[in-house]
Amino acid sequence: MTDSDLSPAPVTPREPDTQTLGESAADLGFPDGFLWGAATAAYQVEGAVAEDGRGPSIWDTFSHTPGKVLGGDTGDVAVEHYHRYRSDVALMAELGLTAYRFSVAWPRVQPDGRGAINQAGLDFYRRLVDELLEHNIEPWLTLYHWDLPQPLEDAGGWPVRDTAERFAEYAAVVHDALGDRVKAWTTLNEPWCSAFLGYASGDHAPGRRDAASAVRAAHHLLLGHGLATQAMRAAGRDTQIGITLNLYAISAASDDPADVDAARRIDGIQNRLFLDAVLRGRYPADVLADFSTVTDLDHIRDGDLAIIGTPLDMLGINYYTRHVVAGPADPPSTAPAPWPGSEWVRFVSSGRPVTAMGWEIDSDGLLEVLRRVYAEYPTIPLYITENGAAFDDEVTSEGTVEDQDRIAYLDAHLTACHQAITSGVPLKGYFAWSLLDNFEWAWGYSKRFGLVYVDYLTQRRIPKASARWYAGVIARNGLVTSSED
């Protein structure tokens, strides 16, 4: 392994981006052309898991394994987006969305994860994309949002190198089919989750608990990203290619050296591992040193980092919360955790209010993340590809959902986006997570993130107060700070 540069990369000071903030009815106007979207992911919304030739994914297997998902919930039906996509797109148009971020289910396109293409699966996405374009909604396509074809997991999954090659093959297939009409392409969504929740803590599919496998999975996901980027670029089309990372603001609980080191570890594995790899073509030396306590690094071959660092057109950032961390408990924790070396770390509360996920609400953290990425990494257009909150929504006797807590969350985070743009960060768009209430992975249907409420018995959609509020933001291209909003 010779690719990782052990010295810290220099930070290049630069002039602020020159986006001009628009004139609008808003107090905090966003730049003209700012993209206003909402996001979903295939397994969370589509349902129809056995239709039109779709094969099983690791999430089908995992959710059907007793004890893995709260309440035994599965994505078998989800919110029937596969069948209801037309009315869902009409709903998007009513809200005024200018972009829709969705993912393609790999096992719909290649049920075996390799070789033969299932045309019926591809056709669904072509119909969805055409419907979006007819409504002037820009399709934002993510190739991998966690639903690995089960046959590839049976062959070793992301810890084996071949999966990266298979991903690039699949990416080229989808890009060939849809690259004429989809301009914005994301390779992976949140590879941290795929690697460390999937293979270290076992909270996500495929549910393995082996830190060494997780470290290997992280590298092969990134390699798959790089190979897929190169394969799509080779087609010579005018598509924009990026990746979506889940980034966190990280604070040490105090300046005690053990707390500071805990913050270094978590920042390393959550943020720098992925940012450095894709934007600098290197791994942070301290993270590799942490990893070498759980596995050798023989799986990282010469040349891999150059592939992983293939230049991108944009970076997607998913932001939800800040982690406040302290040094180890006494005695150190031995519970399964997604962070190799987690025995050195404790997550502590800072006392901020939390969402229904128990995640602390910290919009300053979003500003911090945006400014940090802009300051420390090569200039690249940034998009918030997910941001939002689960709350315990209820339908009133009038049939409405008055989710003022979600409005406050979105308002605060969009204010942070506006501040970032004002200080020169090249932020070009924002996607709320999520368009619809949906299958929240190991939490099943118990957590509602949608702008639109879904009655899971009838599949009726009820736009929440936050949806109406967001529609107003889009119409004004900005936020109003007066109490009338």
12 by DSSP, 3-state: which?
Answer: coil
Residue 244 CB, nearest approach to ligand IFM (Å) = 9
CB-closest chain residue to ligand IFM: 41
Residue 203 CB, nearest approach to ligand IFM (Å) = 11
Alpha helices in 48-138 (DSSP H): 58-63, 81-95, 106-109, 119-134
Would strands 99-103 and 452-455 be described as parallel, antiparallel, or unpaired? unpaired
User: For residue 140, which of 179, 86, 103 has the smallest C-alpha distance?
Assistant: 103
Give the residue with the Cβ less far from ligand IFM, 39 or 182: 39
Residue 329 CB, nearest approach to ligand IFM (Å) = 26
Give the residue with the Cβ less far from ligand IFM, 441 or 470: 441
Give the residue with the Cβ less far from ligand IFM, 449 or 453: 449
Please give the DSSP secondary-structure letter assigned to residue 195. Answer: I
Give the residue with the Cβ less far from ligand IFM, 145 or 282: 145
Tell me the CA distances in angstroms from 53 to 58, 116, 142, one per residue in order.
Answer: 16, 11, 21
Residue 64 CB, nearest approach to ligand IFM (Å) = 19
Give the residue with the Cβ less far from ligand IFM, 144 or 291: 144
Residue 40 CB, nearest approach to ligand IFM (Å) = 8
Tell me the residue type at 110: Q
Q: Using omega within 30 degrees of 0 as the cis cutoff, is the peptide bond preceding 213 cis? A: no
Q: Pull the structure tokens for residue 287.
A: 């993270």
Residues with Cβ within 8 Å of residue 374, at least 6 apart in sequence: 382, 420, 424, 425, 426
Rounded CA separation 322/300 (Å): 30
Q: Is the torsion defined by CA of 448, 245, 335, 343 positive or negative?
A: negative
Contact status, residue 135 vs residue 93, Cβ threshold 8 Å: yes
Give the residue with the Cβ less far from ligand IFM, 304 or 440: 440
Report the catalytic residues: 190, 386
Residue 46 CB, nearest approach to ligand IFM (Å) = 13
End-to-end CA distance of the chain: 56
Q: Is the torsion defined by CA of 344, 350, 355, 358 positive or negative?
A: positive
Using CB under 6 A as the criterion, which residues of the chain lie in contact with ligand IFM when the complex forms?
A: 41, 44, 190, 318, 386, 433, 440, 449
Q: Pull the structure tokens for residue 167.
A: 């991903």
Rounded CA separation 169/231 (Å): 8
